[in-house]
């Protein structure tokens, strides 16, 4: 849709960080006027719907400084430079849960905040979990607590705000859809 395109006139890097970079850009709008865009660059991330043999969903509880609270989320993590998303997905699953996946499938990818950030989340699913023989290690500054919950428990956590993020809400709805289709 070329008639909607914004053409970059200038771009200034405000911040180069550990996880994100910030740019302020001047753009020419479709009507010829100019405006300003704030853009966060992010390496992208993966998340995994990981189901145990008895159908429980793995969640990791983690403190989120941006929100000043803990959230229960599906296992997730940032892409490392050059790493394939599927490799990241298995690595983060191992580090955060102590399980590995014998097989894993890509489900969907989505941008989380297209209005200001380029973060793309790749969502995977596995039902082929195996306990790791040797412990995997979290990042030095990462502290998480593993939970294994039924779909009904996850629905309750969504209702009471323990689950409160887009990828995990999507994951719970995905499992609701799968249950509904199995009952059709």
What residue numbers does the annotated binding site for Mg(2+) cover? 76, 92, 96, 142
Catalytic residues: 140
**35-69 burial code (b ≥16 CB/10 A, e <16):** eeeebbbbbbbbbbbbbeeeebbbbbebeeeeeee
C-beta of 128 vs 138, nearer to its own copies: 138
Q: How far is the CB of 59 from its own copies (least distance, A)?
A: 12
DSSP assignment string, 94-132: HHHHSEEES--EEEEEEES-TTTB--EEEEEEES-EEE-
Q: How far is the CB of 131 from its own copies (least distance, A)?
A: 23
Query: Residues 62, 163: contact at Cβ < 8 Å?
Result: no
Comparison of 54 and 141: residue with beta carbon closer to its own copies? 141
Question: Which residues in 1-40 contact its own copies (CB under 8 A)?
Answer: 1, 4-6, 8, 14-15, 17-20, 22, 24-25, 27, 29-31, 33, 35-40
**Binding string, residues 105-144; x marks residues near its own copies by CB under 8 A:** ---xxxxxxxxxxxx-x------------------xx-xx
Task: Name the residue nearer to its own copies (CB basis): 22 or 132.
Answer: 22
Helix (H) or strand (E) holding 178: helix 166-182
How far the first Cα of the chain sits from its last, in Å, is 39
Shortest separation between residue 102's beta carbon and its own copies, angstroms: 26
CA distance 125 to 106: 6
Residue 38 or 130 having the CB closest to its own copies: 38
Among residue numbers 43 through 82, which ones bind its own copies (CB under 8 A)? 45, 61-67, 70-71, 73, 76, 78
In contact, 81 and 63? CB cutoff 8 Å? no
């Amino acid at each position: 849709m070329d008639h909607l395109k914004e053409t970059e006139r200038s771009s200034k890097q405000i911040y180069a960080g550990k996880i994100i970079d910030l740019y302020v850009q001047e753009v020419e709008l479709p009507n010829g006027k100019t405006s300003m865009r704030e853009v966060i660059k992010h390496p992208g991330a993966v998340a995994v719907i990981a189901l145990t043999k008895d159908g429980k969903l793995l969640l990791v509880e983690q403190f989120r400084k941006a929100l000043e609270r803990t959230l229960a989320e599906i296992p997730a993590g940032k892409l490392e430079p050059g790493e394939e998303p599927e490799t990241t997905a298995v690595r983060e699953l191992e580090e955060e849960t102590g399980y590995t996946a014998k097989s894993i499938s890509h489900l969907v990818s989505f941008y989380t905040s297209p209005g200001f950030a380029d973060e793309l989340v790749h969502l995977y699913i596995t039902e082929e979990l195996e306990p790791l023989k040797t412990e995997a290690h979290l990042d030095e500054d990462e502290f998480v607590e593993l939970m294994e919950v039924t779909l009904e428990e996850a629905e309750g956590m969504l209702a009471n705000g323990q689950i409160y993020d887009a990828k995990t809400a999507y994951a719970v709805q995905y499992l609701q859809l799968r249950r509904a289709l199995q009952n059709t």
